[in-house]
Amino acid sequence: MKIAIYPGSFDPITNGHLDIILRASKLFDKIYVCIAKNSSKQSFFSLEERVKMVEIATQDFENVEVISTDDLIVNVAKKLNATAIVRGLRAVTDFEYEFQLAAANEYIDQNIEMVFLMASLSKSFISSSSIKEFFTYNVDVSSLVPNIVIEMYNSKQKK
Ligand code: ADP
């Protein structure tokens, strides 16, 4: 059984992330979407909100499971018997960061492969930070994120 882990902040999950999850779910028998607690990075959505959004957005995928962690991704991968860490690549700007991350992961454990999937052209401009900015300026994001993200943003505003 080929198991992979797809780690990220998912603050919030976007259609770009979902596209990577869809494609990875065809390549692997099981995908764990692993949400980083990120104590160093201040997130807009809480960990609980991010987990809930990803769970709802991926509920139709039978081989996708959502987990969260504050551990090193390589350690999480080992515990889950995952042999691959999936990441998405958008522009060359992603490459620099991902290249460094891959080298660091290789230093820690040579048995886990990083697998990079190219963003679909139509989704390559979507990032969680642009979504948060669009929310601030009331830009319609309905074609960029799953509905649950908009619902949770709206209910957060009402609080
Ligand atoms: P991180 O803080 O770990 O970068 P993100 O949630 O921002 O977490 O991204 C998780 C992964 O998804 C990264 O590999 C990122 O490059 C990828 N990703 C983000 N947006 C897109 C997109 N629109 N298309 C493809 N991959 C993406």
pLDDT at res. 39: 66
pLDDT the model gives residue 133: 97
User: Do residues 43 and 50 lie in contact, with contact meaning Cβ atoms separated by under 8 Å?
Assistant: yes
Helices (H), the chain: 15-27, 47-57, 73-79, 92-108, 128-136, 147-158
Cα distance between residue 45 and residue 118, in whole Å: 26
The token duo for 14 is: 């976007």
pLDDT number for residue 92: 83
Pocket residue to mutate for ligand 1, from 5, 15, 19, 20, most atoms within 8 A of Cβ? 20
Ligand 1 atom showing the smallest separation from residue 86 Cα: 14
3-state secondary structure of 71: coil
At residue 141, the pLDDT reads: 98
CA dihedral 22, 26, 31, 37 (to 10 degrees): -30
**Nearest-CA residue for atom 3 of ligand 1:** 8
Ligand 1 atom closest to the Cα of residue 89 is 16
Q: What share of the chain is helix, strand, coil (3-state, %, to 5)?
A: 45, 20, 35
Task: Count CB neighbours of 146 within 10 A.
Answer: 19
- 128: annotated active-site residue: yes
Put the strands of the sheet holding 64-69 in their side by side order.
64-69, 30-36, 3-8, 84-89, 113-118
For the chain, which ranges sit under pLDDT 70?
39-40
Of 69, 90, 118, best ligand 1 pocket probe by most atoms within 8 Å of the beta carbon: 90
pLDDT digits (tens, 9 = 90+) for 121-147: 999 999 999 999 999 999 999 999 999
